[in-house]
Amino acid sequence: MTSPIKRIDGVTLSDKRVLMRADLNLPVQDGLVSDWTRLERCTPTIRHIIDRGGQVVLLSHFGRPAGQYDPQLSFKELLPQIRDKLALSCELLDHRGELPLASLNAQQEIADVLLVDNTRFFSGETTGDQTLSRAIAELGDCFCLDAFSVSHRNHTTVTGLASFLPSFAGFSLADELDALNATLATIGRPCVAIVGGAKVSTKIDVLRNLIPKTDTLIVGGGMANTFLKAIGYEIGSSLVEDDQLSTAREIMQFADSFDCALVLPTDVATHHTFASTDKALVCDIKDVGESAMILDFGPTSMASIKGIVSSAKTLLWNGPLGAFEIIPFEIASVEVAKFVANRCASGELKAVAGGGDTLALLAKAGVSDDFTFCSTGGGAFLEWLEGKKLPGLSILSTVS
């Protein structure tokens, strides 16, 4: 599905300073990193560079500071934890988004890893600014992209540096592409997609792009409410996007025209507020009360999804079916995830999932390792599935 890319294997790295774009947008709770997966994914590349005599200049965004310095979004406080986790000498290149960047001091010169503070402190980062690209490129001899999750962004530290430096993919990015390519080399039919999550407005293109490729599209989460309201159901105080009702109708017609069955819940689990409860009310979609909030699929809908999955050969999943963070509204997502995992284990289904919430959901269901492949990318995963050319991969392509 993509052109071959240049890889770090075989590149001479001795005495080279490698600008390495990773995804260190780490989840933090009470000042502590709560999940190290993102750093762990790029650690083999970091070690490879150091083992071959190079120095790593690590680049990553952290949150969304929108081109301005924000002490809350600095890597400064996390540096000791990152250093411990890497078990390498690691220094911070402190900046406030100013150019030119301060030259490296002696301590930074000798560290194994030099972590440049949040790249989104630079106002030109998200616009792929040339002046910024040149200034950052001056910090290194070559560029390594090792984050599939940001490869859909035309940002300075994703695509901009390749104009100035020899560029290649790290192991995490290359391995992820290999795995996605292998999984989807032959899409088995029927092909089912589950697209859930909070809002339709963020996933319109995803829905439009998946409809022609899939036999069944299951719409879940808060987004399903907008479709239900567009059909005319009472959805009480549920999350809804009233400005997307006509879009929802268009998408349903579009699905019809491609003979893609668009599936919505026929029964739901509700509560009067967005909070955990032991008093969730399950009802038919026709009986949702005025003050009820739809927070999950009901048991009949769940059974019907399992039926659909039973005959599927390929399944693509992004976004939860319900508000899975609050008990008991994780039930449908978790049950279906377990069912999908079992079908993968018996070799009857290839299932690929992606996106932060989806991965958290699979972890909650205890099936993270049982899907055929879990992508690190949310937006990148979906754009790749849509067949879009991801700019971060284009710069690494061996074919022009």
Distance between first and last Cα of the chain:
15
Given the complex with ligand AMP, which of 54 and 197 has the nearer CB atom? 197
Q: What is the SS3 assignment for 339?
A: helix
Task: Spell out the residues 6+ positions from residue 147 whose beta carbon is closer than 8 angstroms to its own.
Answer: 21, 22, 23, 42, 60, 158, 172, 173, 376
CA angle (353 as vertex; 259, 350 as ends), nearest 5: 70
In 3D space, the residue among 177, 172, 178 whose CA is nearest the CA of residue 49 turns out to be: 172
Least Å distance, CB 326 to ligand AMP, is 7
Least CB distance to ligand AMP at residue 222 (A): 4
Question: Any contact of residue 222 with ligand AMP (CB under 6 A)?
Answer: yes
Can you list the alpha helix ranges (DSSP code H) found in 258-330?
A: 299-311
Contact of 28 with 38, CB cutoff 8 Å: no
**Residue 11 or 360 with smaller CB distance to ligand AMP:** 360
Only one of the segments 58-66, 79-87, 131-139, 314-322 lies at the binding site for ligand AMP (rule: CB under 6 A); that segment is 314-322
Q: Per DSSP, which regions of 216-370 are E strands?
A: 216-219, 261-263, 267-271, 281-284, 293-297, 314-318, 350-354
Q: Are 172 and 297 in contact (CB under 8 A)?
A: no
Is residue 319 a contact residue for ligand AMP (CB under 6 A)?
yes
Minimum distance of ligand AMP from residue 295's CB (angstroms): 5
Q: Is 239 in the site for ligand AMP (CB under 6 A)?
A: yes
Mark 262-301 with x for binding to ligand AMP (rule: CB under 6 A) and - for no binding. --------------------------------xx------
Interface mask (CB under 6 A) for ligand AMP, residues 341-380, using x and -? --------------x-x-----------------------
Residue 221 in the binding site for ligand AMP (CB under 6 A): yes
Looking at the Cβ atoms of 252 and 295, the one nearer to ligand AMP is 295
As measured in angstroms, the least distance from the Cβ of 159 to ligand AMP is 25
CA angle 122, 127, 128 (to 5 degrees): 85
Considering the rule CB under 6 A, would residue 322 count as an interface residue with ligand AMP?
yes
SS3 322: coil
Query: Per rule CB under 6 A, is residue 320 in the interface with ligand AMP?
Result: yes
Contact stretch for ligand AMP (CB under 6 A) within 84-92, 126-134, 196-204, 211-219: 196-204
Does 198 contact ligand AMP by CB under 6 A?
Answer: yes
Axis-axis angle for helices 331-345, 299-311 (nearest 10) = 20
> How many whole angstroms separate alpha carbon 367 and alpha carbon 341?
6
Tell me the β-bridge partners of 218.
Answer: 194, 263
DSSP codes joined into one string, 136-190:
HHTT-SEEEE--GGGTT---TTTTGGGGTS-EEE-HHHHHHHHHHHHHHSS--SS
Shortest distance, position 294 Cβ to ligand AMP, whole Å: 5
Binding residue for ligand AMP, selected from 323, 331, 336, 352, defined by CB under 6 A: 323
Least distance between ligand AMP and beta carbon 133 (Å): 30
CB-wise, 132 or 210, nearer to ligand AMP? 210
Give least dist CB 324 to ligand AMP, A. Answer: 6
Interface with ligand AMP (CB under 6 A), residue total 16
173 or 194: whose CB is closer to ligand AMP? 194
Strands (DSSP E) contained in the chain are: 17-21, 28-29, 32-33, 55-59, 90-93, 113-116, 142-145, 167-169, 191-195, 216-219, 261-263, 267-271, 281-284, 293-297, 314-318, 350-354, 373-375
Choose, by CB under 6 A, the member of 54, 197, 354, 377 that binds ligand AMP: 197
- Name which of 78 and 359 has its Cβ closer to ligand AMP: 359
Q: Which of 259, 239, 262 is nearest to 249 (CA)?
A: 262
Per CB under 6 A, the segment of 22-30, 84-92, 317-325, 385-393 that binds ligand AMP is: 317-325
Four-residue CA torsion sign, 332, 334, 340, 345: negative
Closest residue by beta carbon to ligand AMP: 197
The residues binding ligand AMP (CB under 6 A) are: 197-199, 202, 221-222, 239, 294-295, 319-320, 322-323, 325, 355, 357
